[in-house]
Amino acid sequence: MAVLHITQDNMDETIKNGVSLIDVWADWCMPCKLIAPIIDELAEKYEEENVKICKLNLDEAEDLATELGIMAIPTVLCCKDGEVVDNLVGVQPIEAYETWIENHS
């Protein structure tokens, strides 16, 4: 499964079941560019499992980002069965995301 792109219209349906990570990012954000390969690697690693790796472009979905309480980017929202239950702010090593996924899958 490739990285899924989240919008206001598809977020609820996309993350409603299982574990999801949503990378909130922007083109102009250098730290966001640093974690982009990590997000891609996670999507590849968890392709066969019921884990969705998603991206939400801040500039294309400002209202949704505000609704989600995004205060800084990059922020990776950690979701379980449609609810945001945690977040990881800033550049994190891949192990931080893997640990969260493994603890909640």
The residues annotated with a catalytic role in the active site are 29, 32
Give the 3-state secondary structure of residue 81: coil
Give the 3-state secondary structure of residue 83: strand
Would you call the peptide bond into 74 cis, given omega within 30 degrees of 0 as the criterion?
yes
Q: How far is the C-alpha of 78 from the C-alpha of 21, rounded, in Å?
A: 5
